[in-house]
């Protein structure tokens, strides 16, 4: 199961790809940040986010995209940009028929650290350990994107299968339809 | 000057196209609503909004797109969907090199009624009068989209020209580059 996690933002949009199944060691396939200049026009920034997400989808062909759920209770100065960047990420995935899952920040923290109120350093430390990295990914948005992907792999695999079946066809098959392959490869 | 106004929303996204210049009668070229089912997945709804906006851009080739500026102070249950739909509209325009302008609801109301605190009925009545329509456009989202387009035509034409020059090339020329046409056709 290959998941692209997206920590949405206009200035820094964290992206990370993790492959694995619950109960086995996970593998990081890539991590990075899509940046757009703060002084650019909003429309152009959204186009740049779209191009960046498209490149990550092209490069890694994830089966799921996990995006942080945005709450309007957050800082009112940044929440609009976050909502807009997350809309672009969801749009890019849905256009390709890739199921999109939303996870709240506390769900993600709880998944990787055991506590929904863990701080950034704790999340970074656990992501580093779980993915057997040499050092915590920087910036924090990149680590958060990997945590989102891990959270999605670990949470509700049955729900994932249902969503995927609805979005594409029955079973755990990869994106390209392959009805002959019914065995469990994961 | 041809403007597509967009009153963003996931359930109902109002769209209206108005042509004209300040100080002369305005012409409505089209009005409608892009709808997406409330029970569909968010990603699919965003794809449907994108397709709808693309169809309006294809059909009317506006020189500007005016989108209502979303504030996070609004109803927290709907503001996220509004922000996401507005992001899709801005993305569609910016991808084509069409300048995007944001106007606040009070700017739009003040432009068409003279009062930033006018109610829906007042806005609908003035849109009907200014565009010489037989009846107010329904639903209110459609009337609001036309009001946005009118507001954009009337507000800061000098600023529009600068923005357009930056986005495309100098002057008031249509979207397709046509350097030979320097005369004022509007």
CATH of the domain at A38: 3.30.420.10
Asked if the structure places residue A136 within a domain, the reply is yes
Contact B40, B48 (CB under 8 A): yes
Inter-chain CB proximity B84 and A87 less than 8 Å: yes
Burial of B139 (0-12, 13-18, 19+ CB in 10 A): middle
Cross-strand pairs, A2 = A19
Name the active-site residue from B19, B54, B55, B141. Answer: B141
Inter-chain CB proximity A84 and B76 less than 8 Å: no
Cα separation, B66 vs B183, in Å, equals 25
- C-alpha of B43 from chain center: 23
Asked if the structure places residue A9 within a domain, the reply is yes
- In chain B, what residues touch A46 (CB-CB under 8 Å)? 87, 90-91, 94
- In chain A, what residues touch B84 (CB-CB under 8 Å)? 83-84, 86-87, 90
Inter-chain CB proximity B41 and A102 less than 8 Å: no
- In chain A, what residues touch B36 (CB-CB under 8 Å)? none
Highest mean pLDDT among A147-161, B69-83, B149-163: A147-161
Q: What pLDDT is stored for residue B139 in this prediction?
A: 93
- Phi, psi of B35, deg, nearest 5: -110, 145
Q: Which residues of A are catalytic?
A: 7, 68, 141
Residue A7 marked in a binding site = yes
Burial of B22 (0-12, 13-18, 19+ CB in 10 A): exposed
Q: Catalytic annotation on B7?
A: yes
Q: What pLDDT is stored for residue A71 in this prediction?
A: 75
Model confidence at B138, pLDDT cuts 50, 70, 90, reads very high
- Does the pLDDT value for residue B156 go beyond 80? no
* Structure-model confidence comparison of residues B29 and B181, the more confident one: B29
Asked if the structure places residue A117 within a domain, the reply is yes
Q: Three-state DSSP class for A97? A: coil
Q: Three-state DSSP class for A15? A: strand
Q: What pLDDT is stored for residue B77 in this prediction?
A: 64
Q: What pLDDT is stored for residue B155 in this prediction?
A: 85
**Nearest CA-CA partner of B81 in B107, B113, B45, B122:** B45
Q: What is the pLDDT along chain A (186 residues), one digit of tens a residue?
A: 999 999 999 999 999 999 999 989 999 999 999 999 999 999 999 999 999 999 999 999 999 999 999 876 656 667 888 999 999 999 999 999 999 999 999 999 999 999 999 999 999 999 999 999 999 999 999 999 999 999 999 986 656 666 666 665 433 333 333 333 333 333
Model pLDDT for residues B116-133, shown as the tens digit of each residue: 999 999 999 999 999 999
Q: What pLDDT is stored for residue B10 in this prediction?
A: 95
Inter-chain CB proximity B87 and A90 less than 8 Å: no
Asked if the structure places residue B181 within a domain, the reply is no
Asked if the structure places residue B89 within a domain, the reply is yes
Cα separation, A127 vs B73, in Å, equals 35
Asked if the structure places residue A173 within a domain, the reply is no
Cα separation, B142 vs B145, in Å, equals 5
Please state the domain count of chain B.
1
Q: Which two tokens stand for residue A42?
A: 């909003």
Asked if the structure places residue B185 within a domain, the reply is no
- Does the pLDDT value for residue B159 go beyond 70? no
Residue of A nearest to B65 (CA): A43
Asked if the structure places residue A184 within a domain, the reply is no
Contact A9, A82 (CB under 8 A): yes
Cα separation, A175 vs A92, in Å, equals 15
Q: Domain of residue A8: give its range.
A: 2-167
């Amino acid at each position: 199961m290959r998941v692209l996690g997206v920590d949405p933002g206009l200035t820094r949009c964290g992206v990370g790809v993790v492959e694995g199944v619950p109960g086995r060691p996970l593998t990081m396939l890539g991590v990075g940040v899509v940046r757009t200049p703060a002084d650019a026009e909003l429309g152009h920034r959204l186009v740049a986010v779209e191009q960046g997400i498209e490149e990550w989808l092209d490069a890694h062909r994830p089966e799921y995209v996990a995006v942080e759920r945005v709450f309007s209770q957050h800082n009112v100065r940044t929440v609009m940009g976050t909502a807009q960047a997350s809309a672009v990420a969801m749009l890019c995935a849905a256009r390709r028929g890739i199921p999109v899952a939303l996870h709240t920040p506390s769900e993600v923290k709880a998944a990787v650290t055991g506590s929904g109120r863990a701080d950034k350093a704790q999340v970074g430390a656990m992501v580093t350990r779980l993915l057997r990295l040499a050092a915590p990914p920087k910036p924090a948005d990149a680590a958060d994107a990997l945590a989102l992907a891990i959270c999605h792999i670990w949470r509700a695999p049955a729900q994932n299968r249902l969503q995927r079946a609805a979005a594409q066809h029955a079973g755990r098959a990869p994106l390209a339809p392959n009805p002959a392959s019914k065995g469990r490869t994961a």
